[in-house]
Every structure is written in C-alpha cells, then in structure tokens.
Structure 1
Amino acid sequence: MSLRIYAARRILTMNPSLPEATHIAVRDGRVLGVGTREALADLGAHEVDQRFADKVILPGFVEGHSHALEGALWEYVYAGFFARQDPEGNSWPGLTDIASLQARLRQQADTLPAGTALIAWGFDPIYFPDRRLDRHDLDAVDAERPMVVIHANLHMMTVNGAMLRHAGLDRHAGIEGVMTDADGHPNGELREMAAMFAIFDTLSLDLFDRGSEPQTLARYARIAQRHGVTTLTDLYNPLSEHGVESMLATCARDDVPMRLVPAMSALTYPTDVGIERVLACRQLSTDKLHFGPVKLMTDGSIQGYSARLNWPGYHDGMPNGLWNAEPERLIEVVQRYHQAGLQLHIHTNGDEAVDLMLDAIESALELWPRPDHRHTLQHCQIINQAQMRRAARLGVCLNMFANHLYYWGDIHRARTLGFERSQRLEPLASAERLGIPIAAHCDAPVTPLSPLFTAWCTVARQTASGAVLGAHEALSVTRALKLITLDAAYTLRLDDRIGSLEVGKFADMAVLDEDPREVALAQLPTLRVAATVVGGIVYPNPPAEP
C-alpha cells in the first residue's frame, strides 16, 4: 500500500510526547508518522489527502464494555422508556406507560405467524413505580403465543403465561429468580441468568451466541462506525466453535469496520474447560479479532434490585439482590483463571460484589503473584473510597458505567441509593486521584453506543432530569477523551496497538467536525463523526442533516 498523509485542522493523538499534530502518515494500515507536513516530508514519496483538512482527528474510540447483542436485539421490537435510534437511523419513541407498551407489542404480534414467540427488549420497570409489569399484562396482548420482554438491564425479563407453561416454570415457583405473586404463583418476572436461560433454552435461542453471527456483527460494526468506534468488545461470549469461526470470517471482511474483543463468559463452562477454551482461542487472534479476556458475572443491576449491596442495602427497603453463582464458586473461578495467566473482566454493580471480588483477587495474588494482571472491575457503580484504595494497592483497573448517571441517576437518588451514595456513582475523579487505571463505557445495548455521550456523562454528571450528581467526581473533557481511547485500550491489554496515534499502531481514527474541547459542553454528545477509519480504510458517515 502506498504512503498516504492525511491533513487535518488538528490531530489529538493521546500521545503525551506529542499531544497534537496537523498531519498523520499511514502505510499498510498502520501509523508511519505524526507531526507537521514538513516533519513527515522525509518519509518518502507520498500522497497528501486533504479530505479531512477542516476536521479534527482523534484515535478511534474504544468501547471497553459492550455486547454484540446490540447488533442482535434490533431484530426484535424495541420497548424501552427512552427514545432510541436503530441501526438504519430510524427513531423509536420511548414507551412511558404500560398501555403504550401493550400497543406496540400488539402491533408486532399482528406481523407474526400464529404461535411464533414475540420477543421485545429494552423495557425498564424502574420507571413504572406504581406496579410491576406481569404476565397478566402480556396475556392481555396475546394469551396464546409465548411472549418475552427483556429488561433494559439484561438481567431480568417478563414473560406471559404461555411462555411460563412452555418453559415449565408455572410449576416451579421455588426456583431462585422466578418471582411470585401474593398467592405464590409465578407472576411472569424472571431475574438473573439461571431463570432467564430456562426461557432461552425453551425457545432454542442463545442470544449471546447470536452475537457471533455474521449479520449481527455487521450490524454491530455499522452502529459503531456511525459513532467513531473502531474497537468493540463483546463482554459475554460463549466462544462456541461455530461462533469463533463466524467471528474470524466476519471480522476479516473489509466491509465490517471494527476490531472485536470477545470475552468468554466464565460461568458457561466448568473452569478447566473454560480455561482450555480461552487458551485455544487466543492462538487464533488476528489484527481485527483479539481473544483472551474472560468475563465473570457476579451480581445483577441496581435499578433491577438484583445487585448485591452492603449495609444498609436498598434505600427504599427492597430485599438485597442475587448472586449469579455461589460466592465460593465465584472466588474459585477468579483464582483458577488468575492462576492460568488470564485476564478477568468482572461484573460488579453493588459494593458487596466489589468486596467479594477484591477478596478473591487479593487471595489469588497471594497464592500466585502476577505483575500487570489488569483484572478489571466492570461497572463498580458505587465503589467506595476504602475499596478504591484497596483496588489501587492490588493493581486492579476500574471501567465505570458512566451512562448510568443520565439514565438512572434520578432513580438512584430517590429510590435505590439515597443522597450520599448517589453522589459517589461512578467516582472517576476519586479513582484518578488514587492512580487507578480507569475507563468508562456504555454497556450497549443497555444504553446506546456513543462514546462522546459517555464522555459527556463523566464531565457533566447530569441525570435525565438535569440534576447533577457528585460534582466532585467530574472530569475535564480532555481527561474524558482519554477514557474512551487509550485508557479503554489499556483495560483490554491493547494499548500497545490502539488507543493513541503513534508510530507502529493501527491507523484507527475518529474524524470529527469539531474539537470536543472547544465546543459548549452541551454539544459534546452530539458532535458529528464525519468518518471512521479502521486500519487506514476510510468509512465515511452520512452528512449532517440540514
């Protein structure tokens, strides 16, 4: 490939040795040089590309915690509280009452053959405080066809009576996670993985494995391209044989503009089998597909009341949440994967889950010392100061779910956490002061994939109502941009090849209309990404709407 030098109004490199430049040289999909045009003149014969001359170039954004489900779920009907845009750019209004939800489900049911299961996603019961959605609400739409409404947090679902009967859950109210009504009968709400997988098994549907299908990955990459994301994660992938083959083939295509990091779901396999699976897959890694990380799910979600909280528990007195496996097993999984030299990305929403996992990591390090392990706690939404000091001592990374501030901050302040704990939601500034490696993420499809919105959340810390939570934990825009580039790459052990624009790294770039540091803060989430560049290949985005 010939040498091409791109001119820009400004290049923000994320390289401390050369923070800004005006030109970047690309050859064979990698960065050959960064600087002024004069500084790059000695690289040899080249073509100067002026198409970005009035734009601002950043490293391609790195989404350190998302799911390929974002590409799969759009095959089903959206049922969320907030308005959302689908991969084709169509807007879906939010559903703010049960009647609106029923109307959308009824409309979708009319398009399906009789008996075909209806699946919807994105429903968020926390925004319906008067009562919980139950099987009777869904039976009123269609009592004969199986119906499944997956909640926004991906840790819960509500099903109708037909689905309960098909799965045999109408007779097994004693199973953990199968919620019941006052008479002790299943009410249709299912919490956490064991109960939900009973539904998926009945439907012969593995949504997480579907994340590896070609059409799903292509759709996932298309969504990412629109937002300047060049590296995506799939942080709960079973790494099935056909899934691995599909990811290898699909990621190799030039029309799929992304690098992908799938993390194997640890609880899918017996520990020995899982370790062997990850190690075998790691040998198959390519420039665009990186195997190696392992995902461990501990508790659930705070807004779903399934996260594990320390005393005093939930602010409104709801019972404590659920573990996705016995704590003893979770500790054993951490120790075994650590001993095998693998990196863990550990879901910890509640502070009790954080305590358990810090205990597990500390015991693993005592038994098998490992420098630079980069085990990363994911979400860790209300991690406290003592826990962060301990995380710093243990060399643990924190990837915080910043979007939570906007989507559920009001709920946490009023109902689940109260005043003081809501001020420490996503305490990124405190973690920064303690020298902890940090990143921020969106957890798509839980919230939309949009790194600039995530960056805005870490700076503005505004809820959907406009309230500010934890002003002392706010970051600067400059610091926030590093969270979604080089810092996220660090948590994925990929900072040697992505996350900044330096010689030798992949030529992955997000091309913006404006400099994020210079626009009004309110404009940051909606800055247009003019193009996304992956390995030197330019993927233009649609022009700005008039």
Structure 2
Amino acid sequence: MPILDRRTFVRASIAGATALTPVGRVMAQTGSLQDVGSLFVASPKPTIYTAREIVTLDPARPAAEAVAVVDGRILWVGSLEDTVAILGDQSYEVDTTFADHVIVPGFVSQHDHPVLAALSMSSEILSIEDWVLPTGTVPAVKDKQDFIDRLTAAVAARSDPDEPVLTWGYHPSFYGPLTRAELDAISTTRPILVWGRSCHEFFLNTATLERGGLTQEAYDAFSASAGEQSSFEDGHFWEQGMFAVLPYIATMAASPERLQAGLEIVRDYMHSKGITIGNEPGGILSRPVQDGVNAVFSSPDMPFRWSFMPDGKSLVGMYDDDAQVIAETEKLASWYGGMTSTTSKQAKLFADGAIYSQRMQVREPYLDGHSGEWMMDRDVFERAFRIYWDAGYQIHIHVNGDEGLNRVLDTLEANLRRNPRYDHRTVIAHFAVSGADQVSRIRKLGAIVSGNPYYVTALSDQYGEVGLGPERANEMVRLGDLSRAGVRWSLHSDMPMAPADPLFLMWCAVNRLTTSGRVAGSDQRVTVEEALRGITIEAAYSLKLEDEIGTISPGKLANLTILDANPLSVDAMEIRNIGVWGTVMEGRMLPAGEPERKASLELPGGPQVKQEFTEAALHHALTVAHGVH
C-alpha cells in the first residue's frame, strides 16, 4: 500500500464523495477506517481536540465531538471513536482543553480598516456608543454637554501643556453643530482636534490652526470646492476641506508611535473577539505606511492573518493606461509577507458617500434637502469597473444609498452583457439604504452582499428623525429580503464604523434592536444560523476563500474559534454576551487576553519624513475607508 502524500490527504474530502482519492478508493474497497489509518504513518503527529460541542457548518457533518488537526490543517471531523480509528497506529494526542467549550469555524473579519481603527482607537474616544477595548471600556457620550465635559477633563488631565488632544467620535446628527469657539472655551493654548464619527470631518480650535500655520490667508487660497466644504471661522473642515487642512494638522493627529500603539490595540481587540483571518478592502498605497502596518501585522506571532485588497479607485486615478492599472495592481503583492498578503485578483471601488456623514446617494430626497456625494465620477467608475472586470477580477464596491446601488447594478449589467462572466461574485459592500425592488435584480445579476447590520442598531432611531425618515431608517440593511430571494450575503463591521466583534454583528442581524430597545424592520431579521454563516463560510465565500476556511471540514485550514456557549442554542438576546476563550489558528492554540509581542516601528529620517508618513497614513485612513476624494 503506498504512503499517501500529506498534502493530498488533508485536501481530500474524506466523507461522502471521496471515491476518486486514495483514501476514497481504500474506503470503497474495504469500508474500513482502520485500513485508511494505515496510510498516514508518515504524517506529523496529529492533535485531536475534543469539545462539549463542535458546530462545523459542514452539511456533510453538521456536528461533531472531535476534530483532528495536523500540520495546520483539519485531518478529520467526527466522533472521537471514528477519529481515533482513522488514525490507526499513528501516534497522536488528545487535547481536552476545550472540553467545556464550543468550537465553531474561525470568525472571518471580511471588511475592516486597521489604520483607520488604529488612529481612532488610540485617540480620546468620545463616541455615540460604548467601546470595550483591551485598554478599558469607554462609555458612550450622552449628549453635547457630556461631550464638552469629558473633553475638558481629558485636556486638563494632560501633564504636557503642549501635547495635542485628538478625540474621535463626535456626531453632529446626534449632538448638533460644534464650533471653534466652543473648543476655544476649553483651551486657547493646547491644540484640540475633534475627528468626527464619520471620519469625514475635523473640528479644530484656534491653537491647532495657529500651531499648524493655517492662517486666514492660507485658507483663502483653498480650492473652490475645499472652501465650500469648510469654515475657517468655525474651525470645521469636511470632505474636500478636510483634505485641504490635512497637511497643516497631520503631525498633531497622527504619528508612527500612535499608529503602532493603535495597531496593537486593534490586534488584541480582534483576537479577543475570535477573529482568525481579516481583510482590508482598499489596501494601503503608501509603502512606508504599509511597512508600519507590517511591523505589527506581519509578525509571525500575530494571532490572525490579514489580507489587503488593492484600492482600485486610487490606482485607476493614477494611471491613464488600462494595462498599467492592472500591472501596478499586481506589483502590490511584493509589499506583504509573513502574516500579511494581498488578495488574489480582487479590487475595491466606490459608488457613493458614507452613511455616518449621510452622504449616500438616495432615490428620494433627504428630509432636510441636502444632497449625497458620488465618490467616483460616473465615467471614472465605469472605466475602473471595465478594467478590472475584463482582467477577471472580483470587484468589491462600497455603496450605501439606493441611487448608488442603481449605478452599481447598471454598470454590472452592462459589463455582463458586453463580456459575460460566470461566478464573478461582485460584492455590494455596506448595503445601507436599498429598495425591495433592487434585491431581485441583485440576484438576477449574480452579485452578493456584505452588509453591516450595526447601522440598524446604532443609527435607525436617530436617522428616522434626521435625514432618512422612519421607513428608510427601519429597512436599512434588508438581509431578510436577501435571504428570501436566495442572495448570498455576509456580515462585516467596517471597523471603526462598527466594533469588529463577529458575535455582536450576529446579535445585530438576528435581533435588529435599536439603541432605544425597539425592533426596526422585523421582517428583515435573519436566523441565528444564517448570521453565524455570515461571519464564517459566507464571509469566506465573499473573499473566494471558501475552499480554505469557513467550515470545520477535512482539508481546510485549522482555523477555529472557541466559545463558552453555542450561539445556535442560546437565547438570541444573549449572543453578544457569549465569552470567547480564544482561537486555534492554523493549529496554534491562542488564548485571548495573553499579551502579544510589542512591535518595533522604526522610521528613519527627520521631521520631513515624519510629516510625509503621517500625511500618508491619514490620507489612507480617510480615503480607503469611505472613498473621500
């Protein structure tokens, strides 16, 4: 009997349709697990993990009591008796660490932004929601006065009188306008930078403007669009105005040290939430900033892998030649290594504006009559889509409004007719405001959806009164309609637009409870199993990784999330409260809460290099997350 190559074995699906593999042939001839076990003598020593419950999400074996792991992959899943039998005479060990726990497929963070999260999470967080971080819990801001009081206390607590204070999370739709005069009342000497919850705007005090050298004369030299989207008198700069002010404030808002500290917070936070693999849609196009991220995220002791999807919007804007766009996209693969990588033949584009700034393009007007924004002009969007479509790329598109969705679906349909493609899996990312009529069209065109259910929890109450009105606010992220239509969908957080907490995303999608405790759009709720699939196998499918991760199946990577309870059997309201023991990531047992290695982020050069680095880091954070241009 020949020895079966280990890689062939771990990629074989032993259960069911295995007749074409060596394992399958032996089983077909003898029906004996013992005979199969004789094939594995040369394999490395497997570990058999047992647990109170194992939820596989594999239809062939939905539940199990043991999973055998070897060389970072899943060898077998089933009863302990069968698992031991299939190993035959091969040496193995049984690990009972998870005897009182539940094993589920490793959580997939399908769409998050490490740099944006790092800079916001390392600031003075004063936001519309609680943030429970490894560094402590930051409670939500109650109202504007609470914001002023807490910011005043944060400024007073600084021992260095010259240290700038950066705070993130203020939301004018919740707390009202914020002016330079109000910030000056807190301090006229210490720079105060208030970064809006949408990440699309800054509110600055006079000390910040003076230290940065932004005079009235310099402000008057802004471009027409930047001048229209800013107010020097109020110290308020948004959209184009925000980018115009960026060179003046970059070193006060960001630094290599802040980025490193923030990335470590994000790393530990995501690990504590059971994440085993993640993705940044819209990879960094500044090599020094990517090197800074790699200093933390590429480390061999990172508790999860992270991939970066090329920022197609920026790349198309940089090159007039279509072939060069693809060539430069492919070159980005050399920027990664270790625990980071680039996605294979995938790119991110943008349709309309962000939901937190209420700049999505909608079919019916906003209550106050303001307008949405297009993040890419139609001709640029259509060119970018065509370039990546014809190159065989999977295209992920940031789109929040129903009018934005019309543009995406029109473009997709035109390209399908011009150059038909099978299994293109075009991803509609965010999916905030949509119409029921658009769901059937999504299915017809073969698109899939990555939705953010936190929009309902955090924003439905307020947006029902400000901006959208109750009907549109209640029906945001209509996952129920997608399920009924047979459209595949996954869940994401877009951290820091929502906490990168997969169990919390499940809770949001299943319950659709708002901050006031009411249910918004009850018919858009989904089942618990659908929600669990949304953070595992469907998230993997959206990244074309379903053959490697997403279920606990023989041959796949041994990525497991270890929980205190089974999310499929607890009360739906308790899903968010399930404890996370940690993960098994490609066979490594990684308990949550254990300190990780501190990275060393070295940035050679003087102040000019630091200025360029911080500008590039902020530019990436602000553009890639929401397509601000």
- Give the AA of the match of 1:109: V
User: Is the contact made by 1:191 and 1:306 (CA closer than 8 Å) also made in structure 2?
Assistant: no
Q: After the TM superposition, which residues 134-533 of structure 1 pair with which residues of structure 2 at under 5 Å, given as runs? A: 134-163=179-208, 166-167=213-214, 170-171=219-220, 175-176=224-225, 187-192=234-239, 194-204=240-250, 215-246=261-292, 250-269=296-315, 270-272=317-319, 275-282=326-333, 288-292=339-343, 293-311=346-364, 313-314=365-366, 316-533=367-584
> Quick one: distance in 2 between partners of 1:309 and 1:206?
36
- Match in the other structure for 2:600: none
- Match in the other structure for 1:133: 178
- Give the AA of the match of 1:74: M
> Quick one: distance in 1 between partners of 2:379 and 2:134?
41
Distance apart, 1:177 and its partner CA: 6.0
- Match in the other structure for 2:139: 93
User: Is the contact made by 1:213 and 1:243 (CA closer than 8 Å) also made in structure 2?
Assistant: no
> Quick one: distance in 2 between partners of 1:370 and 1:456?
35
- Write out per-residue CA displacement over residues 109-159 of structure 1, whole angstroms, 9 at most, x where no aligned residue: 34274555432111222212xx31122222222334443212222233323
- Specify whether residues 284 and 187 from structure 1 end up closer, same or farther in structure 2 by C-alpha distance, changes over 3 A only: closer
- Specify whether residues 247 and 17 from structure 1 end up closer, same or farther in structure 2 by C-alpha distance, changes over 3 A only: farther
- Give the AA of the match of 1:332: R
User: Is the contact made by 1:346 and 1:378 (CA closer than 8 Å) also made in structure 2?
Assistant: yes
> Quick one: distance in 2 between partners of 1:24 and 1:484?
21
Q: Which deviates the most, 514-523 or 319-328?
A: 319-328
- Give the AA of the match of 2:205: N
User: Is the contact made by 1:302 and 1:416 (CA closer than 8 Å) also made in structure 2?
Assistant: no
- Match in the other structure for 1:34: 77
- Specify whether residues 199 and 392 from structure 1 end up closer, same or farther in structure 2 by C-alpha distance, changes over 3 A only: same
Distance apart, 1:232 and its partner CA: 1.8
- Match in the other structure for 1:48: 94
- Give the AA of the match of 2:351: T
Distance apart, 1:431 and its partner CA: 1.0
> Quick one: distance in 1 between partners of 2:307 and 2:279?
5
- Give the AA of the match of 1:486: I
User: Is the contact made by 1:179 and 1:191 (CA closer than 8 Å) also made in structure 2?
Assistant: no
- Percent of matched pairs sharing the same residue: 28
User: Is the contact made by 2:183 and 2:192 (CA closer than 8 Å) also made in structure 1?
Assistant: yes
User: Is the contact made by 1:218 and 1:256 (CA closer than 8 Å) also made in structure 2?
Assistant: no
> Quick one: distance in 2 between partners of 1:266 and 1:112?
44
- Give the AA of the match of 1:79: L
User: Is the contact made by 2:163 and 2:190 (CA closer than 8 Å) also made in structure 1?
Assistant: yes
DSSP-derived class of the 1:54 partner: coil
- Specify whether residues 162 and 245 from structure 1 end up closer, same or farther in structure 2 by C-alpha distance, changes over 3 A only: closer
Of Structure 1 and Structure 2, the greater helix share is in 2
Distance apart, 1:262 and its partner CA: 1.7
User: Is the contact made by 1:428 and 1:474 (CA closer than 8 Å) also made in structure 2?
Assistant: yes
Q: Which deviates the most, 115-124 or 505-514?
A: 115-124
Distance apart, 1:164 and its partner CA: 5.2
- Write out per-residue CA displacement over residues 211-264 of structure 1, whole angstroms, 9 at most, x where no aligned residue: 996654443221111111111222343232234445556444343101112223
Distance apart, 1:446 and its partner CA: 1.6
**Aligned length in residues:** 535
- Specify whether residues 250 and 91 from structure 1 end up closer, same or farther in structure 2 by C-alpha distance, changes over 3 A only: closer
- Write out per-residue CA displacement over residues 284-320 of structure 1, whole angstroms, 9 at most, x where no aligned residue: 7668433133232332233422221112x11x22311
- Specify whether residues 385 and 8 from structure 1 end up closer, same or farther in structure 2 by C-alpha distance, changes over 3 A only: same
Q: Which deviates the most, 388-397 or 300-309?
A: 300-309
- Give the AA of the match of 2:80: R
Q: Which of the residues 41, 54, 57 maps onto 1:14?
A: 57
What TM-score, normalized to structure 2?
Answer: 0.79
- Write out per-residue CA displacement over residues 28-70 of structure 1, whole angstroms, 9 at most, x where no aligned residue: 1111111111111222321000010121100111121211022
Distance apart, 1:452 and its partner CA: 0.8
> Quick one: distance in 1 between partners of 2:232 and 2:154?
28
- Specify whether residues 211 and 113 from structure 1 end up closer, same or farther in structure 2 by C-alpha distance, changes over 3 A only: closer
Q: Which deviates the most, 482-491 or 438-447?
A: 438-447
> Quick one: distance in 2 between partners of 1:397 and 1:294?
15
User: Is the contact made by 1:180 and 1:186 (CA closer than 8 Å) also made in structure 2?
Assistant: no
User: Is the contact made by 1:399 and 1:441 (CA closer than 8 Å) also made in structure 2?
Assistant: yes
> Quick one: distance in 2 between partners of 1:252 and 1:447?
24
DSSP-derived class of the 2:310 partner: strand
- Specify whether residues 277 and 381 from structure 1 end up closer, same or farther in structure 2 by C-alpha distance, changes over 3 A only: same
Q: Which deviates the most, 29-38 or 209-218?
A: 209-218
> Quick one: distance in 2 between partners of 1:72 and 1:97?
24
Distance apart, 1:347 and its partner CA: 1.3
> Quick one: distance in 2 between partners of 1:534 and 1:207?
35
> Quick one: distance in 2 between partners of 1:207 and 1:495?
39
> Quick one: distance in 2 between partners of 1:14 and 1:372?
22
- Match in the other structure for 1:58: 104
User: Is the contact made by 1:12 and 1:20 (CA closer than 8 Å) also made in structure 2?
Assistant: yes
- Match in the other structure for 1:106: 152
User: Is the contact made by 1:459 and 1:480 (CA closer than 8 Å) also made in structure 2?
Assistant: yes
User: Is the contact made by 1:62 and 1:488 (CA closer than 8 Å) also made in structure 2?
Assistant: yes
Q: Which deviates the most, 478-487 or 10-19?
A: 10-19
- Specify whether residues 324 and 475 from structure 1 end up closer, same or farther in structure 2 by C-alpha distance, changes over 3 A only: same
- Give the AA of the match of 1:154: C
> Quick one: distance in 2 between partners of 1:219 and 1:14?
31
- Match in the other structure for 1:80: 127
- Specify whether residues 428 and 212 from structure 1 end up closer, same or farther in structure 2 by C-alpha distance, changes over 3 A only: farther
RMSD: 2.8
User: Is the contact made by 2:226 and 2:244 (CA closer than 8 Å) also made in structure 1?
Assistant: no
Q: Which deviates the most, 147-156 or 460-469?
A: 147-156
- Give the AA of the match of 1:138: L
Distance apart, 1:524 and its partner CA: 0.7
- Match in the other structure for 1:71: 118
Q: Which deviates the most, 24-33 or 363-372?
A: 363-372
Distance apart, 1:12 and its partner CA: 0.8
- Write out per-residue CA displacement over residues 257-287 of structure 1, whole angstroms, 9 at most, x where no aligned residue: 0111222333334354653333123467668
- Match in the other structure for 2:7: none
In structure 1, stretches of 5+ residues that fail to align are none
